[in-house]
Chain A
Amino acid sequence: MSQLAYIAPSSPEEAASALAASGARPLSGGTDLLVQLRAGRAKPDVIVDLKKVAGAIGIREAGGGFVIGASTSGAVLGEHAGLVRAWPGVVEGANLIGSTQVQGRASLAGNLCNASPAADGVPALIAARATCLIVGPNGRREAPVESIAVGPGKTSLAPGEFILEFRLPPRPARASDAYLRLIPRTEMDIAVAGCGVNLVLDAAGAVAEAHVAIGAVAPTALLVAEAGAALVGGKLDEASLDAMTAAVRAACRPISDKRGTADYRTRIAGVLARRAALIAFERAGGMR
């Protein structure tokens, strides 16, 4: 009969070597993994709890940007005033996960590595151009967030690899972001569609840089370069918003399932992108 071991290493290297064993699974908040264990969908032999690993929890400023311990809970992210000021969209994506109770545990690493197409924490991270610091048996590497999930429930991480940190780039003065999702309820639900928008404005208040990422409308969250490009150079006039919305919808490759039809998801992704862009623009101090 199956046995389940639990270890909580304190160094990244120990964690990586423990994770290299077959049947080992990393654990951050456990809000996905424990549910899957109970349902019999995950059957690990060893659970490697990363929360005691040095660097896995906490937020620090470095090189003008932020470094977020990958196992940090949503509640801690939400309480960090500096992070909220610089990256309100990243934080609101993370804070939409679950409920107050779930927020006490749920992490961005778990959200990303669970690899649900509908993960709420992921689109804003991608739009932020965040990267992951990955630790593995062969050392460390850095990779963009959008390269991690490769399909529902599948990641590009090699055996033994785990995410130790997320790195957010330095933030210019007039920049902000936003994340919106649609769920039939108001919380405790899975996104039918989600969209993160990250904008940097120039001195004249026009969009200098724009990144748009969408969730729940394809096997993984997608960075839609054409959508970002449609916003650059203007002040979110109707034509650019229409072009951005069209680009978002063109990028959608959703399935029809119990959570929404493909048509509905595609349409909503456009609506959310437009609304998120307007929020990010206003937060960045833009005037239309």
Chain B
Amino acid sequence: MSETLDKPALNIVGTRPIRPDGADKVTGRAAYGADHSMPGQLVGKILRSPHAHARIVSIDTSKARAVPGVKAIITASDFPDLASEVLEGGEQASNLRDLSLNVMARDKALYHGHAVAAVAAASSEAADEALARIKVTYEVLPHVLDVEPAMAADAPLLHAHLFTEGLEAKATAPSNIAKRHRNVRGDPEGAFAAAEVTVEGRYTTQAVHQGYIEPHATVAAWAEDGRCEVWSSSQGQFMVRTYCARILGIEISDIRVTPAEIGGGFGGKTTVYLEPVALALSRASGHPVKIVMSREDVFRATGPTSGSVMHVKLGASADGTITSAHVDLKFQAGAFPGSPVGAACMTALACYDIANFSIVGWDVVTNTPKVAAYRAPGAPIAAFAVESAMDELARKLGMDPIALREKNAVRNGTKAAYGPTFQNIGYLETLAAIRDSEHYKSPLGPNQGRGVAVGFWFNVGGESTAAVNIGEDGSAVVVTGNPDIGGSRASMAMMAAETLGVPVDRVRPIIGDTASIGYSMLTGGSRTTFATGMAVVQAAEKVILDLRQRTAKLWDVSLDHVVWRMGQAECTDPAKPDKKPMTLAALAAQSARTGGPISAQVSLNAQGAGPGFGVHLCDLEVDPETGHVTVVRYTAAQDVGKAIHPAYVEGQIQGGVAQGVGWALNEAYIFDRQGLMENPGFLDYRMPVASDLPMLDTIMVEVPNPAHPFGAKGVGEVPIVPPLAAVANALRGAIGVRIPHLPLSPPVVLEALDSKAE
């Protein structure tokens, strides 16, 4: 099924050179969000709500203003009161008013940690003192944290203006249900009635944080002439520019955003929290202002992704053909609408060719931090439910779990549950890679279990700009507008070097600020290597065309008689046998005489991103006396299109698995009865540590994407989709009972073991 692309053999793409940003990162020279300072800068700090839900009756800042060193104090009244408006630009569309209200609460604090005021002061101590002296009078309101209680008719209402969208009849009363999504094919009820085998289950997951190692940080300056500078760690400098301009009501032309090195994002840095506040403080104080979140702030006020309650029913004939499916997904959105339930609905059945189904999704607001994108937003949650149900179905049918998935797999030409028709997908090859692996055939030890799960992510393309500038010595600088969160600089340099035919260390990839390179959508949706990579290759090709034109003039031959091979121009005109090839360096040295500097920029809107599929295999061992679970072996296979830098593709796969295993086993937000988060730190918010995981083995399946010059597909999100269910299915195998609720922490597992013993 894999096609060979009509391309010459590759010299650089597919190799594993040292990453261009590696030395800076291991020596501590890389400048992250908090590393930048501006002359005369102040310390900014944010006062956060101590309540989960409260009306802000009044804010008295007079005592705080009297603290020596305090230069500015702002509240929501320092920001424009914006109307509801949908903004494209982040990973998901956002509502401008909600964005602004999340940055600074106006009439109500909607979660513990919601920003209510901010100060700028000459020292950290003065800022702390000022925070302590701001007097906020709250009227504490009843709160609701979990999705099902929030949907109840008598639930405390977060927003008086929120009416459920997507119902047959227009909603007449406000509720916490922001939207219902629905997708039906065929006659699911009829097909269930005729099904020979059915399985059904209710599944729940907890909100989990992206857990990037670098807390959010920014420094911003609002100059007297109204020009603004922002330096911050984000997944998109252009996103920061747009959001700041809109939230503050200023022109994008007045804002220049420089992307700092980013210490992880995983989707959580696709929005703004601090930047508009720092700008407003700078405007009020006349000084640059730097704000750095603590880890506690990060947990209380950023991310996470949704907690959920899900219901899945599958119907099949005795031979394993799935004839009907019903999927109901209720997602916690946090304080404002916009959970990833829409994407979850679209991905839930994307791996399966099913004639009849109904998928319903509910987007529900709760008194918890507004969710942010997290790697394949929504897909791991839905996959946990669907893949757990698939495991139950395989057991009930007595079928091998891979065989069941192969039987119902989408193929090229299948119309996906979410609409489009699949082409050039490598799902069957990926299933086969696991089926044929040594791991799948290996025996299990005592107290061990094995689980299989699959996952899907769309991957996207979109708008990108890249410039290739040739130096006088024939070296190249590649400028893009995408922060490097997953090793993309290496991939950009490699694709440029491959195209130009020069060694990769002759190419320096850099990430431009918003005033130095054309617009690019943020780094998200696994789009950068695909879309920005396409722009890089096209810019390099434009440079090559320019070089051929210049050479043709020098040699006085037609353009057709100049070919570019292995980094040099060669003459193919039989009438000019004396023309010696000219290298890029030689041409660059005389660029002044041939038309000036050699450089090209390409802006495009990349189409044809190839969807990705992953198949994961997890072995784990249970301590029957404590319920402690240890993952002992893990293999993840994924269709990656073409691995530009295989080590970073493997790294993406391993990273996704590590995060997914943490989500499955231990991660959860813990709230007390007042709705206050009790574990805002890595001690009690238990992400996995290195010693928790075995070597995570990867199998890269390469079914090229013809829309990309080298066949690349997005790889960064697919690998977090299957692990939740792979772990849960392995545990089901090990202990003989299904635990349909995450996390599968030791006490939960021990309780399940007890229930089995009874």
Residues of B within 8 A of A268 (CB): 626
Beyond A184-B746, A264-B750, whether A189 also contacts B683 by CB under 8 A is: yes
Interface of A is mostly: loop
Contacts of A258 in B (CB 8 A): 670, 678-679, 684
Whether A189 and B691, one on each chain, are in contact in the complex, defined by CB atoms closer than 8 angstroms, is no
| B435 proximal to A (CB < 8 A) | no
The answer to whether A182 touches B746 (Cβ under 8 A) is: yes
A190 within 8 A of B: yes
Asked whether, in the complex, the Cβ of A259 is within 8 Å of the Cβ of B684, the reply is yes
Closest CB of chain B to A180's CB: distance in Å? 10
Q: Is there contact, CB below 8 Å, between B684 and A186?
A: no
Bound CA span A62–B33, Å? 53
Q: Quick check: B678 and A182 within 8 Å, CB to CB? A: no
Is A61 at the interface (CB under 8 A from chain B)?
A: no
B747 at the A interface (CB under 8 A): yes
Least Cβ distance of B231 to chain A in Å?
A: 24
Is B689 an interface residue, CB under 8 A from the partner? yes
Is residue A50 contacting chain B, with contact meaning CB distance below 8 A?
A: no
Cβ-defined contact, B689 with A188, below 8 A: yes
- Counting CB contacts under 8 A, is B408 at the interface? no
A30 CB to nearest B CB, Å? 17
Q: Given A264-B750, A268-B626, decide whether A185 and B686 contact each other with a Cβ distance below 8 A.
A: yes
B692 A185 Cβ-Cβ under 8 A: yes
Instruction: Answer whether residue B346 sits at the interface, using C-beta atoms and an 8 A cutoff.
Output: no
Residues of A close to B670: CB separation below 8 A: 258
Contacts of A261 in B (CB 8 A): 747
Q: Are B689 and A186 in contact (CB under 8 A)?
A: yes
Indicate if the CB atoms of A190 and B666 lie closer than 8 Å: no
User: Which B residues, 220 to 259, have Cβ-Cβ distances below 8 Å to chain A?
Assistant: none
CA distance A99 to B682 in the complex (A): 14
Say yes or no: A2 contacts B746, CB within 8 Å.
no
Smallest CB–CB gap between B50 and chain A, Å? 15
> Which residues of B are found within 8 Å of A190, using beta-carbon distances?
683-684
Is B750 a contact of A184 with CB atoms below 8 Å? Answer: no
A-side contacts of B125, CB under 8 Å: 1-2
The interface centre, meaning the residue of B125, B626, B682 with most chain A CB atoms within 10 A of its CB, is: B626
Least Cβ distance of B650 to chain A in Å?
A: 23
**Chain A residues, CB < 8 A from B682:** 188
Instruction: Name B129's closest neighbour in chain A (CB-CB).
Output: A1
Q: Give the distance to chain B from A286, nearest Cβ to Cβ, in Å.
A: 22
A257-288, CB under 8 A of B: which get 1 and which 0? 01111001001100100000000000000000
Please give the distance in Å from B473's CB to the nearest CB on chain A.
Answer: 43
Q: Check A260 against B747 for contact (C-beta < 8 Å).
A: yes
**B688 contacts chain A at the CB level, 8 A cutoff:** yes
Which chain B residues (668-723) contact chain A, with CB distance < 8 Å?
670, 678-679, 682-684, 686, 688-689, 691-692
Q: A1-B129, A260-B747 are in contact. Are A184 and B678 (CB under 8 A)?
A: no
Nearest B residue to A99, CB-CB: B689
Query: Whole-angstrom distance between the alpha carbons of A184 and B685 in the complex?
Result: 11
In the bound assembly, the distance between CA atoms of A185 and B626 in angstroms comes to 13
Complex contact B686–A184 (CB within 8 A): yes
Least Cβ distance of A70 to chain B in Å?
25
Judge whether A187 is part of the interface by a CB distance below 8 angstroms: yes
Contacts of A186 in B (CB 8 A): 689, 691-692
Residues of B close to A267: CB separation below 8 A? 750
Residues of A within 8 A of B683 (CB): 188-190
Residues facing A in B301-346 (CB within 8 A) are: none
Give every chain B residue within 8 A of A264 (Cβ-Cβ): 746-747, 750
Which residue of B123, B126, B625, B628 is within 8 Å of A184 (Cβ)?
Answer: B628
CB distance from B295 to the nearest CB of A (A): 10
Complex Cα gap A268–B625 (Å): 8
B contact residues around A188 at 8 Å (CB): 682-683, 689
A168-198 to B contact mask, C-beta < 8 Å, 1/0: 0000000000000010111111101000000
Say whether A182 contacts B679, CB under 8 Å. no
Give the nearest-CB partner of B296 in chain A: A39
Contact, CB under 8 Å: B666 / A184: yes
Interface residues, chain B, with chain A CB atoms under 8 Å away: 123, 125-126, 128-129, 625-626, 628, 665-666, 670, 678-679, 682-684, 686, 688-689, 691-692, 745-747, 750
8 A-B pairs whose Cβ atoms sit less than 8 Å apart in the complex: A1-B129, A184-B666, A185-B686, A185-B691, A186-B691, A188-B682, A258-B670, A264-B746
Which 7 interchain pairs have the tightest Cβ spacing? A186-B691, A264-B747, A258-B670, A271-B625, A1-B125, A184-B666, A258-B678
